[in-house]
Structure 1
Amino acid sequence: MERRNYALVTGGSRGIGRAICIALAHDLNYPVLINYQSNAKAAEETRELIAANGGEAEIIRFDVSNQVETHEQLAHWKSQHPDDLIEVIVNNAGITRDGLFMWMENDDWNQVVQTSLNGFYNVTKFLIQDLLRHRYGRIINVASVSGAKGTAGQTNYSAAKAGLIGATKALAQEVAKRNITVNAVAPGFIETDMTSALDEKELKKLIPLNRFGKAEEVADLVSFLASRKASYITGEIIHINGGIYS
Structure 2
Amino acid sequence: MMKIDVLSLFPEMFEGVLHSSIMKKAQANGAVTFGVTDFRDYSTSKHRKVDDYPYGGGAGMVLKPEPLFAAVEAISEGLEKPPRVILMCPQGETFTQKKAEELSSEEHVVFICGHYEGYDERIRQYLVTDELSIGDFVLTGGEIAAMAVIDSVVRLLPNVLGNADSPVLDSFSTGLLEHPQYTRPSNFNGMEVPDVLLSGNHAEIDKWREQQSLLRTFERRKDLLKDAPLTEHQRKFLHQLKRENK
TM-score, length-scaled by structure 1: 0.32
Give the number of the structure whose residues are more often helix, by fraction: 1
Task: Indicate the structure (1 or 2) with the bigger Cα radius of gyration.
Answer: 2
TM-score, length-scaled by structure 2: 0.32
